[in-house]
Amino acid sequence: MSRWQAATAFALVGEVLELTEPGGPDVDRLVVGLAAAGWPASRIAELAGAELVAERVWPFPVPADLREGLGAAQFAAALAAARRALGVADLVVRVRGGRTRLTADELRLLADVPPHHGS
């Protein structure tokens, strides 16, 4: 059985919660389950804000075993709906950033142009 509620909850709070799984995304049930597990909307907003201030990833990356059987687009839609319901939809999503400096080899390759491109 797909773990929609657990996967969505993990993305929001960063921990595995044992929630009732209705067999598909159910935002209302998720919000109630999160609150019952000690994660009301205010606490999730506080956590998300702290992660963003610390420049860490939020929503949290969901482990593969929780995502198993969930379509990527459907999961993204379920997470977006949950964020709207919890009032955290307007928070900026922070993803892992890559390096910003090019290596010497990359700079050399960028500078290397065919002879007919010369000035």
Query: Does 114 sit behind a cis peptide bond, omega within 30 degrees of 0 on the bond before it?
Result: no
Q: What is the pLDDT along the chain (119 residues), one digit of tens a residue?
A: 679 999 999 999 999 999 999 988 999 999 999 999 999 999 999 998 888 777 788 899 999 999 999 999 999 999 999 999 999 887 665 555 555 677 788 888 878 877 776 55
Can you give the pLDDT at residue 61?
Answer: 93
pLDDT of 58 reads 85
Q: Which two tokens stand for residue 6?
A: 């657990």
Q: Residues with Cβ < 8 Å from 12, sequence gap 6 or more?
A: 34, 39, 44, 48, 59, 60, 79, 82, 83, 86, 88
The pLDDT value recorded for residue 111 is 81
Phi, psi (rounded to 5 degrees) for 14: 80, 20
Specify the number of domains making up the chain. 1
pTM to 2 decimals? 0.74
- Identify the domain containing residue 99 by its residue range: 4-117
